[in-house]
């Protein structure tokens, strides 16, 4: 944290406290943490496509998501980090895990003839690379970006976190839309239950009360069986 000495940059008044990118020994720690997260994320991503067991692939995917969430935290986007963990790890990856476990995919069979897709895949890769180069080659920075970064930067303006700032508008200005989206999700839930849930009448269910009711007296019969006579 630093105090802005002079000038107004990025809407920050002089004397106001704000986070600034660059400068100080925090940068070293910051960079080290970044490289650790990034390296683990990339290694995890490689494992996702190269692991033999699809369940391992999904677990590595979870690892990638966690590291990406860490990268978001470093950028000060704690809300995105939380959403990433809750939505992608908590819902999407678990769903993948269910699907993978239920389908029982034979990866060895899938991998047969893997190489014959190489030309097509490679072509797509090359095209994407060319497009990316074109985009990055044509990238122009705003002329005063250096100056703006040094004086203002991306700041958490008035000390409110992202989450709080979002909450402040979500529950006031946009409460109507927020509630409406909730209803849309409810309808999705009701709809999927209606279309898939079947109550089967012939299923035997466990009734605990009846289990507990059973005593030795009403469930056990002792008989004297004569030798060689059978029951």
Partner 1 sequence: MMPDLFPALPEFFLVCAALVLLMVGVFRRGETADVVGVWATLALGMTALLVLAGDGERVTTFGGMFVTDRFAVFMKILVLTAAAMTLVMSLAWMRQERLGRFEFSVLILFAVLGMLMMISANDLMALYLGLELQSLSLYVVAASHRDSSRSTEAGLKYFVLGALASGLLLFGSSFVYGFTGQTGFDRIAEILKGVEGTSLGATVGVVFILAGLAFKVSAVPFHMWTPDVYEGAPTPVTAFFAVAPKMAALALLVRVLTGPFAAMIGQWQQVVVALAVGSMVLGAFAAINQTNIKRLMAYSSIGHVGYVLIGLAVGTATGVRGILVYLALYLAMNLGVFAVILSMRHKGRLAEEITDLSGLSKTHPLVAAALAALMFSMAGIPPLAGFFGKFYVFIAAVEAQMYVLAVIGVLSSVVGAFYYLRIVKIMYFDEPVEVLDPPPGRSITLVLTASSVVVLFFFLYPPPLLLQAEAAAASLFPG
List residues binding partner 1 (CB under 8 A): 172-177, 180-181, 183-184, 186-188, 190-191, 193-195
* Shorter beta-carbon distance to partner 1: residue 118 or 175: 175
Tokens, residue 76: 């000060």
Q: Are 48 and 68 in contact (CB under 8 A)?
A: no
* Shorter beta-carbon distance to partner 1: residue 131 or 173: 173
Closest approach, Cβ 175 to partner 1, in A, equals: 7
Identify the H or E element spanning 18: strand 17-18
Closest approach, Cβ 194 to partner 1, in A, equals: 4
Closest approach, Cβ 202 to partner 1, in A, equals: 17
* Shorter beta-carbon distance to partner 1: residue 120 or 195: 195
Select from 67, 96, 60 the least CA-distant residue to 84. 67
Closest approach, Cβ 9 to partner 1, in A, equals: 24
- β-pairing, 2-3 vs 17-18, is antiparallel
Select from 140, 165, 171, 6 the least CA-distant residue to 76. 165
* Shorter beta-carbon distance to partner 1: residue 29 or 186: 186
Q: Are 180 and 170 in contact (CB under 8 A)?
A: no
């Amino acid at each position: 944290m630093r105090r802005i000495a002079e000038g107004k940059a990025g809407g920050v008044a002089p004397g106001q406290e704000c986070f600034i990118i660059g400068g100080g020994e925090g940068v070293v720690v910051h960079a080290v943490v970044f490289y650790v997260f990034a390296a683990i994320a990339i290694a995890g991503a490689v494992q996702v496509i190269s692991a033999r067991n699809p369940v391992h692939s999904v677990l590595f995917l979870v690892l990638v998501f966690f590291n990406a969430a860490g990268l978001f935290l470093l950028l000060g986007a704690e809300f995105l980090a939380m959403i990433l963990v809750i939505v992608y790890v908590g819902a999407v990856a678990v769903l993948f895990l269910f699907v993978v476990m239920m389908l029982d995919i034979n990866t060895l069979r899938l991998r047969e003839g893997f190489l014959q897709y190489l030309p097509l895949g490679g072509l797509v890769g090359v095209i994407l690379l060319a497009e990316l180069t074109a985009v990055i080659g044509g990238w122009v920075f705003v002329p005063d970006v250096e100056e703006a970064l040094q004086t203002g930067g991306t700041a958490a303006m008035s000390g409110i976190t992202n989450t709080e700032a979002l909450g402040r508008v979500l529950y006031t200005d946009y409460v109507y839309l927020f509630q409406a989206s909730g209803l849309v999700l409810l309808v999705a839930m009701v709809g999927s239950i209606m279309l898939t849930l079947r109550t089967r009448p012939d299923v035997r269910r466990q009734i605990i009360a009846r289990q507990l009711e059973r005593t030795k007296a009403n469930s056990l019969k002792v008989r004297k069986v004569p030798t060689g006579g059978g029951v």
